[in-house]
Structure 1
Amino acid sequence: MGGVITYYFAPISGYAYLGHQTLTTLARQHGATVDFRPLMIAKVFAASETTPPFAQSAPRKSYRIEDQARWAAHKGLDMTPTPAHWPTDPGPACRAIIAAGKLGLDQDALSFGCLRAVWAEDRDIAQTETLADILTAAGCDAAAVLALAATDDIAGEVQKITEDAIAAEVFGSPTYVFDGQRFWGQDRLDFLASVLQQEAAVCS
């Protein structure tokens, strides 16, 4: 058992919100570690020539709303069909999540808090006050995290994560990478679970 699941995600991603708790539960069940890698999704879309969700055709937009509503009901999550602050700049949240990790704080709770704020609470995670509230609710020292998040080193790490994602041929959020395999979208988590089970069987 064990291993590392590399979790590329945008903290404004609706499907990352839907899959987040399932991912972290899977990791716990299989003794795996989640490597949180929040990224600048617009750069990933541009590099992969992917049309951003907000710029897709009307039929695709309407289908996405239906699909997300079904998944939210299935998972027992509140989800706003058209969030008031989506899309918004994910940079501040990316930097905060990375900074929290550097300080040994709870990236899981913070990441989910950001995702929930966008998709269930109509809050703008690009705003410092909103981030501070989410950090506090996640049990983090908001002042310490935000101070570190404002440094050039953390900004550089966001850039590197985004570049690494592009190099790994990531083209959307969420993308989970385990043992060299990519799993794009929270609806592929069953396949990730199968690989984790196979890994556990080999190691037992």
Structure 2
Amino acid sequence: MKTLTFYFSLLSPWVYMAGPRLHELAAETGTRIVYRPIDLLRVFRETGGAPLAGLHPSRRAYRAVERRRWARYLDMPIKEQPRHHPVDETRAACAVLAAERAGLAVWPLAQAILAGVWVRDLDISDAGTLACIADEAGYPGRALVAEGGTAPCRDLFEAHTQEALAQGVFGVPSFVIDGELFFGQDRLDFVRRALVAD
């Protein structure tokens, strides 16, 4: 069984669109996914990237076109520009880490949070909103948000971000297989090849 380390942000439309296909691919190939939520805005700062608001207007416009193209292609709803984006994703990421530490499935919660941003126009930095998203997805929302605020979860979020930077991650979604980095939801075909290679 191969292992894929998945570096992701709960702010990214590309992670929102990649998630379902990645998990279908993992099921098909018998791949184990190691989840690594990271602080995307910090990664941008430390690797010379720019958040959406800091991009030249032509780059922002083209990214919007690409979001629409991919959303139509994948038949996934998406907001043109969510009101609550970007926000501090620490609370949301730490709630996901709290779920993992409790032995709960990571991805249904993460995908629900991503849809909260990109479909439902919700503020995932708000504790009550985040708890509600988790509850609706079948998780103990208030407990996860509370646990996510503790030092172990925050330290883990920091460690994952540091690990991502050490692995050469500069954006999301990023996937590492046998030490090889793949960046972008449009690289899943290459991810597949790496997973089925002998």
Q: State the TM-score, normalizing by the size of structure 2.
A: 0.97
Q: 1:153, CA displacement in angstroms?
A: 1.0
Alignment correspondent of 2:67: 68
Alignment correspondent of 1:140: 139
Q: 1:36, CA displacement in angstroms?
A: 1.3
Alignment correspondent of 1:51: 50
Superposition pairs of residues 28-39 of structure 1, within 5 angstroms = 28-39=27-38
Q: 1:142, CA displacement in angstroms?
A: 1.6
Tell me if structure 2 keeps the 8 A contact 1:106–1:138.
no
Amino acid at match of 2:89: P
Superposition pairs of residues 92-131 of structure 1, within 5 angstroms = 92-131=91-130
Is residue 2:176 matched to residue 1:183? Answer: no
Percent of residue pairs bearing the same amino acid type: 33
Amino acid at match of 1:82: Q
Tell me if structure 2 keeps the 8 A contact 1:106–1:139.
no
Amino acid at match of 1:145: L
Q: 1:181, CA displacement in angstroms?
A: 1.0
Find the aligned partners of 1:29 and 1:101 in 2 and give their Cα distance.
23
Instruction: Describe the SS at the equivalent of 2:168.
Output: coil
Instruction: Describe the SS at the equivalent of 2:35.
Output: strand
Q: 1:171, CA displacement in angstroms?
A: 0.2
Amino acid at match of 1:112: Q
Equivalent residue pairs, number: 198
Alignment correspondent of 2:77: 78
Amino acid at match of 1:9: F
Superposed CA offset, 1:80-127 (max 9, x none): 111111111111111001110000112110110111111111011001
Is residue 2:152 matched to residue 1:158? Answer: no
Tell me if structure 2 keeps the 8 A contact 1:106–1:140.
no
Alignment correspondent of 2:168: 169
Q: Structure 1 unaligned runs (5+)?
A: none
Regions of 4+ moved over 2 Å: none
Q: 1:137, CA displacement in angstroms?
A: 2.1
Find the aligned partners of 1:125 and 1:161 in 2 and give their Cα distance.
20
Q: 1:53, CA displacement in angstroms?
A: 2.2
Is residue 2:195 matched to residue 1:196? Answer: yes
Tell me if structure 2 keeps the 8 A contact 1:9–1:38.
yes
User: What RMSD, in angstroms, separates the aligned Cα atoms of the two structures?
Assistant: 1.0
Amino acid at match of 1:77: M
Alignment correspondent of 1:5: 4
